[in-house]
């Protein structure tokens, strides 16, 4: 696994060296957009519609659109002024019960492993958190961005979960047509509860599969077996330019432009006596 971050877990006067690894990966089947006529992959260019020209990364700046068509452009000095302190530490702020955190706050999961000479302190923290049933709320800087996170004990180690901040979670009150007050028949409630209990089972994640992805892979495999494939044309080689001919043509063109226009000499008027 690829290490995405190195640092330490810091709480009180204790520092535990750790390494961070992504705990999840997307398995989506990715497609490319092709030109329908020839099945060549489409290219995407950075183009300014106002200047009608392609733009390089060196000529691109980032701006915040505070009103339609009006932007605040941030310079490198602006970005440097607001960058969080580049601390290589997971700073624990509080220990809380996992049941107190709504799952909507969880964002992305990472595994934590002990760094050099940190095995004993790592195991001690994992054991203490497991026995108390607590998880740590902490702050960490990942990819130049300060993130709120939770550190929790799992079967064989520690896991870090980045969290959304409270103002990033939308209120349920924004959802329209919620049945706030509804009279329910108690008999129907008991039957619904019984149905839930009948369908209850231990959570076994391995029994759930992405049937859509499997069906899509099978469909693609059948098309390959049936040779229902399209081949993009080989890119045309750039024309070979005869350097001497190009130089000669350029010289002739520039010579014509540089040649002074021939002036028709004026006839002198004869003096009359």
Q: What is the pTM of this model?
A: 0.70
CA 42, CA 117: separation in Å to the nearest integer? 51
For residue 95, the cross-strand partners are 136
In this structure, are residues 117 and 17 in contact, taking their beta carbons and an 8 Å threshold? yes
Q: What is the pLDDT of residue 100?
A: 92
- What are phi and psi for residue 272, nearest 5 degrees? -105, 135
Q: What is the pLDDT of residue 258?
A: 63
CA 20, CA 160: separation in Å to the nearest integer? 8
Half-sphere exposure of 51 (CA within 13 A, CB side): 7
Query: Which pLDDT band holds residue 15 (cuts at 50, 70, 90)?
Result: confident
Helix ranges (H only) for the chain are 76-82, 119-132, 186-198, 211-225, 243-258
How is residue 58 written in tokens?
Answer: 């060196």
Angle at 53 between CA 240 and CA 237, to 5 degrees: 20
Most confident of 154-158, 248-252, 259-263, 269-273: 154-158
Smallest CA-to-CA distance from 230 within 41, 29, 28 is with 41
CA 53, CA 30: separation in Å to the nearest integer? 30
Question: Which CATH number describes the domain made up of 3-28+84-170?
Answer: 2.40.290.10
Mean model confidence pLDDT for the chain = 85
Q: Is the pLDDT of residue 29 over 80?
A: yes
Q: Is the pLDDT of residue 124 over 50?
A: yes
Question: What integer is the mean pLDDT of 156-172?
Answer: 93
CA 4, CA 20: separation in Å to the nearest integer? 6
Q: What is the pLDDT of residue 273?
A: 45
N residues, the chain = 273
Strands 145-153 and 3-11: unpaired
Strands 89-97 and 145-153: unpaired
């Amino acid at each position: 696994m690829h290490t995405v971050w190195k640092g330490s877990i810091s709480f009180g006067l204790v520092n535990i060296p750790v390494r961070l690894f992504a705990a999840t990966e997307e398995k989506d089947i990715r497609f490319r957009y092709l030109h329908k006529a020839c099945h060549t992959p489409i290219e995407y260019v950075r183009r300014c519609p106002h200047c009608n020209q392609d733009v390089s990364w060196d000529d691109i700046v980032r701006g915040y659109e505070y009103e339609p068509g009006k932007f605040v452009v941030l310079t490198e000095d602006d970005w440097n002024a607001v960058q969080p302190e580049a601390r290589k530490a997971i700073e624990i702020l509080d220990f809380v019960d996992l049941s107190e955190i709504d799952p909507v706050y969880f964002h992305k999961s990472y595994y934590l492993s002990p760094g050099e000479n940190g095995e004993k302190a790592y195991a001690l923290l994992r054991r203490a958190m497991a026995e108390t049933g607590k998880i740590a709320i902490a702050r960490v800087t990942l990819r130049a961005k300060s993130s709120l996170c939770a550190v929790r004990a799992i079967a064989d180690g520690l896991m870090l979960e980045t969290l959304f901040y409270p103002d990033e979670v939308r209120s349920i009150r924004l959802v329209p047509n919620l049945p706030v007050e509804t009279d329910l028949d108690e008999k129907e409630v008991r039957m619904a509860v019984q149905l839930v209990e009948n369908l209850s089972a231990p959570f076994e994640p391995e029994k759930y599969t992405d049937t859509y992805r499997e069906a899509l892979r099978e469909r693609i495999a059948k098309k390959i077996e049936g040779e229902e494939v399209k081949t993009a044309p080989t890119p045309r080689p750039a024309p070979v330019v005869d350097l001497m001919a190009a130089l000669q043509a350029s010289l002739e063109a520039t010579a014509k432009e540089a040649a002074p226009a021939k002036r028709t000499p004026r006839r002198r008027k004869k003096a009359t006596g």
